[in-house]
């Protein structure tokens, strides 16, 4: 559904995290965001 309205959509399943990514896996979230930013 998101690909219908956005050009660059990525899906990532972040280990050890559920609904509260920043609290449950802050290092993994930062790494994922930095990787996305560098790629785009």
21-36 pLDDT, tens digit per residue, is 999 999 999 999 999 8
Helices (H), 1-40: 21-24, 26-39
Average per-residue pLDDT for the chain: 89
**What is the pLDDT at residue 6?**
84
**What is the pLDDT at residue 29?**
95
Model confidence at 12: pLDDT above 90: no
Length of the chain: 40
**What is the pLDDT at residue 19?**
92
DSSP, collapsed to helix, strand or coil, labels residue 32 as helix
pTM for the model:
0.72
Where along the chain do its domains lie?
Answer: 2-39
Model confidence at 1: pLDDT above 80: no
């Amino acid at each position: 559904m998101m690909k219908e309205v956005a050009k660059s959509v990525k899906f990532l399943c972040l280990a050890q995290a559920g609904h509260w990514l920043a609290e449950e896996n802050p290092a993994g979230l930062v790494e994922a965001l930095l990787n996305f930013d560098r790629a785009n």
